[in-house]
Amino acid sequence: MVERIILTTALWILAAGTLVASPDGRKTRKQLEAENKQMQERIEQLEAQVQAYRQEAEEREEIEEMLSGENENKSSFGMEEYDAPDASTDSLLGRWYMYRQRNSSREESYDMDSVVFTTDVPDSVLMGRLERMNAFISLPYNETVKNYMVMYSEKMPRKMAEMMGLAQYYFPIFEETFRKYDLPLELKYMAIIESALNPRAESRAGAKGTWQFMYRTAINYGLKIDSYVDERMDPFLSADAAAHYLQDAYRIFGDWSLAISSYNCGSGNVNKAIKRAGGKRDFWSIYDYLPRETRGYVPAMVGAMYAFTYAKEYGLQADPVALPVYVDTFHVNRNLHMRQISEVLGIPLDDVRDLNPQYHKDILPGASEDVVLRLPFDYTAAFLDQQDTIARYKADILFTEKVADGREVVSGSRRPTASSSGSGSWVYYTVKSGDNLGKIARKYHTTVKQLKSWNNMKSDFLSIGKRLKVGKK
């Protein structure tokens, strides 16, 4: 089809050239050469344009593949009933969530498809406040939006106080991330709807973390998940992945309400809704064609934003935050156990866990690659001064298993196994539908980073039929 367009255009240029001729109807050699050169230049321009269109279409297809998939089946923990948190009740954050569950359970959960709230605040005041927020999401004031505005500001004071308290720790993290990518800072309110700011939140569909990433989507956006690490639980890295997802979604849909809806239900469902709405590309035109939860997702975000903005008018106050406001970040290049850090520095073990929720089994697998450790700022100097002492402390007792990439740990050092190095012929794997790097890495007992290194890959995108090096015999 593209080649036909180029040929047709070339013939049109040639035909047009015949209209300019000498008085006797014949062209000179010089005229023909000039026209031929002009036609060739035009064809080259068209070929360049076609190539650019092809590249753009391929990039768009790749992005849509990353945006779709598992998200189409996910639900947001923040829009479900609150379950008991997966955290020790002895830690700051554990006590926080147990307190939250005990008190918030007294507040009613609402079926927002059927309930209609009333309020003493006039519609004119609500409309005026909504306009003055000057939000990047342009939504008209209607009963749906009003319902969520009233719910967050008047019907759940305990939950609001608790989420406002957690926001003092998490919102600055999200704002810094979105500012780095020049995204609207108001996107931080999505985390209220996604997880109620619980880094250990897990929905019934299996989405995890503050930003509720499903497994495949998390892998596509560079989050590491293995036996020791689940970066969906890392509030910094998951926020960065969410920013990239939203960048891609906005590039595809060109509308923030649709991009946000895509985050909840996947680009496939949004595209289906657009088709069923006759090609219209605004939220309220496709509203009736979206999944049930997604219909309330964007209005709920506006409602939460409204309640946070006008908290003072409703007498809402943040509970004291359960996490330290000032945290220091360290890059660790050796295996450390959280018990080593806790017992040497005197930090409660559960507090170390709360600041580093991405690590399973209390192990930081730094021997394979640099990993991040976060500690209260008050312990910065002590950690820097005693790193070697910490690494040696009970190492022979705590490190009795393989860590992270299959290399056996002995007192914090590592020995490569037969599968990680050495000579031999390459073993190849052909990518099939549904594959991702994480799945292939687990199958062949290696890591995503190693697969990308062996195959000179810069992204996690896989095309069906691609042959990958997965190890040596």
Q: What type of residue sits at position 113?
A: D
Q: What burial letters (b/e) apply to 165-180, b meaning 16+ CB within 10 Å?
A: bbbebbbebbeebbee
CA 274 – CA 200 distance, rounded (Å)? 34
Tell me, what's the pLDDT at 111? 74
Tell me, what's the pLDDT at 93? 52
Q: What burial letters (b/e) apply to 404-440, b meaning 16+ CB within 10 Å?
A: bbbbebeebebeeeebbeeeeeeeebebeeebbbbeb
Kindly report the number of other CB atoms within 10 A of residue 78's CB atom.
24
Closest listed residue to residue 386, CA positions, set 348, 347, 359, 420: 347
pLDDT in tens, 40-58: 888 888 777 777 666 666 5
Tell me, what's the pLDDT at 1? 47
Q: What type of residue sits at position 254?
A: G
Phi and psi for 274 in degrees, rounded to 5?
A: -65, -45
Spans of the chain below 50 pLDDT: 1-3, 6-7, 10, 14, 17-20, 81-92, 94-106, 402-423
Do residues 52 and 173 lie in contact, with contact meaning Cβ atoms separated by under 8 Å? no
Tell me, what's the pLDDT at 438? 78
- 3-state SS, one letter per residue, for the chain: CHHHHHHHHHHHHHHHHCCCCCCCCCCCHHHHHHHHHHHHHHHHHHHHHHHHHHHHHHHHHHHHHHHCCHHHHCCCHHHCCCCCCCCCCCCHHHHHHHHHHHHHCCCCCCCCCCCCCCCCCCHHHHHHHHHHCCCCCCCCCCHHHHHHHHHHHHHCHHHHHHHHHHHHHHHHHHHHHHHHCCCCHHHHHHHHHHHCCCCCCECCCCCECCCCECHHHHHHCCCCECCCEEHHHCHHHHHHHHHHHHHHHHHHHCCHHHHHHHHHHCHHHHHHHHHHCCCCCCHHHHHHHCCHHHHHHHHHHHHHHHHHHCCHHHCCCCCCCCCCCCEEEEEECCEEEHHHHHHHHCCCHHHHHHHCCCECCCEEECCCCCEEEEEEHHHHHHHHHCHHHHHHCCHHHHCCCEECCCEEEECCEEECCCCCCCCCCEEEEECCCCCCHHHHHHHCCCCHHHHHHHCCCCCCCCCCCCEEEEEEC
Do residues 149 and 307 lie in contact, with contact meaning Cβ atoms separated by under 8 Å? yes
Tell me, what's the pLDDT at 102? 45
